[in-house]
Structure 1
Amino acid sequence: MGGDRPSVDEGLALIRGNVRPLPGESVPIDRALGRITAVPLVAARTVPGFRAAAMDGFCLRSQNVAAATPEAPVRLPIAARIAAGTWPVPLRDGSAAGIATGAPVPDGADAIVMIEHSAVETGAAYVTISTPARPGLNIREIGEDAIAGQKVLDAGHVITPDIVAGMAAYGIGQVAVMWSPRVALVVTGSELARDGAAIDPSAIIDANGPMIAATLSSVGAILSASERVGDDLAMLGAALDRVCATDADLVVTTGGASRGDYDFVRQALERRGARILFHGLSMRPGKPILFALLADGRPFFGLPGNPVSACIGMRFFVGQALRAMLGLPDERGLAVISDEQGRDDTTLFLRGTFGRGPSARFETPFDQRSHILSSLMAADHWLRVDRSGGETRRLAFPKTLHFGR
């Protein structure tokens, strides 16, 4: 596809094949949110650990109310009131006990009748039951949620608040998670203004650095080092030497990735013994993207300087490397209906949104130029369009990088 340039799929496969998973670490569950499970989670305790009331009502023996009807209710003495967090004595045959949701069901009781189907007499000594009850009614049985030793979650899941709740309930105090990738960044460009103030009329405010930092933060990765340099080979080389001397798992540059007079990223890499795996893919925008392995084997990405191209590079290609580091599978898009026909042998990444109505076609009404951020802000998805051999494939992806399922 695209002459001597690899296709997008070939580029993604090269990344997957050359980025190794990071090791895991153990963290307490109050520090696990957003991390990726490194091994399956196994329940440490049985839940429920005892027969528990599923709702407020009266526990009893079902055979005692087998004939109960609204017209002929059954009258039973109230033997006790059982609150959650207390352990009851066995229930005598022919009696009932008031019980709160979550409280242990006493031996001798096999059903709970809801308050709505009962009436307590004056003095609270007796209750009348107006409906029959089957054995097990409104009772949470031992282990119906999980049994100690049972796998409750596979490896490769993002830990969300509900998973934290489950781990707490199942007695999992520590969890093995994948190491948070550490990323070093070098932003290049003599035209970039510093401190957000464009003093020179020709200066441009850096948008790529904040975007990359925000992307990493949103998926639990760490921006471990960051530098900014002008379009100078010696300055770039020195900056690369400094960030590569850190413990970063991956290095990213923005700008300087094309083949113009002021694009020095490839030259600086080759001087340092890096192996270039691709420099340019058959895609628009973002064609000049570069992927290499540093001399010590760490992955390196040279992203284009245009902000939308940098966003695409970060979203799909650095994202692919992060997924590989975290042991996650390749991302799969959603096949959609769209009028976009694409270009032969060139992957297009278009800003768009799902339309309204029964057809729910995917629409791409936005300015697609690579320097226009306002249209990216207005979109909610990317549309990837591939056309080859007379066939067109259209896949939608969420706009922002994420690792949830």
Structure 2
Amino acid sequence: MQNVKGTYDFFGKDQALRKKVQNTLAEVFELYDFDGMDSAILNERELLTAKYAGGDEIVKEMYQLTDQGERKLGLRYDLTIPFAKVVAQNPGLIFPYKRYEIGKVFRDGPVKRGRLREFLQCDVDVVGIPGPEAEAELMQVAVEGFARLEIPIILRWNNRRFLGDVLEAVGVQPEDKLSVMLTLDKLEKIGRGGVLQELADKKLDAQAVSALAEMMEMENPTFERLSSIYAIRETKGAQEVLRLQALLHKLGLEETCRFDPFLSRGLSFYTGTIYEIFDASGSLSSSLGGGGRYDAIIGTLVGREDLPYPAVGISFGMEAIMALLADRNVETPKADVTVIPIGDTAAAALQTAALLRSGGIRTSVEVTGRKLKNALATASTRGTQYVILIGEDEVAAGMLRLKDMNAGTERVLPLEEAVHILTKAIM
């Protein structure tokens, strides 16, 4: 037996780390007043391939299937489209609506470090805020979340409208804009030469390619410099950049959140601000997360492309985060107390464990019938400090024996007194 390529089973310390990361991020999201959500994994294929969904490249990686009713279905490849569906199906939602979701998604794509075929994704979205305040708050969420995980990051951001204005100014035709954006987005991966070769293969106007080559040679292509060179400071995209830039300055996030005029992101549904998160130490080349504004998706799903559903989100690349944190020393959760029945006292042991658990004490019951010394050795190996021994004499007397494995002491006590001592010591 072997796992399907790109899928893994997680247990022990690996699972402990994953749960710790998820819990840490969920705490941050709820601190910012985002509600949890659990959306459907299985969806209509028509939804997943709809206009403004994942785009051709993502659809090629979608796991497709047909059920017994001959319905065409697919496994979700991200959490954004299912979320948009939920909003479209529930017109009674009160806006702004803020949600987070941590769940499995599936893509039949290449496998490498930090990129799997069945993987955990973590999204935070808000619907109903058209201004840059939503983007700024999500950037704050990202910065705080990674700070709590002790991962230094750089968040690069851009604006699709502004990038479109730049491309138009250098002579790229409207029908070629998206294709050129996706090529420029590969600058970090394939370098300037690779980007220029791709642009040449697209048979673009030579003057436009030359202008883009000059732009890529700029030492510091800031928004101010580009908007001045191409005289596009008054466009909608430029104004969106200015407003978000001003907010980030006031929030003290300029060092961490840096403008990148070549950033485009691969998904086709982004309409304005976009961002991507990278490991500032450079030890992992894969993105740690990203997102942006997608104002057109929800209206399209309800058949009203003219209907405004301003939406923006950010996704944390959980598997990339896990790959980066793989060497962290995280303890596997262990029982606070182990209850060991001696003789025919299993019922009393289970009753005692139930009472301890009702007080929030993590409790294990030894019911394998092993010899006492072996059961004690296992409790010691697992790092359990307290052991309760219940024999037939103890049951008859309404007592139990409480062992402190660290101190090497043992006392005979009534159950209520033992619970009081343990609650005070553990909680």
Pairwise same-fold verdict (TM > 0.5): no
TM-score range, shorter chain: under 0.3
Higher helix proportion: 2
Given the two structures, how large is their TM-score scaled by the length of structure 1? Answer: 0.23
Name the TM-score, length of structure 2 as normaliser: 0.22
Instruction: State the structure with more CA Rg.
Output: 1
More strand by share: 1
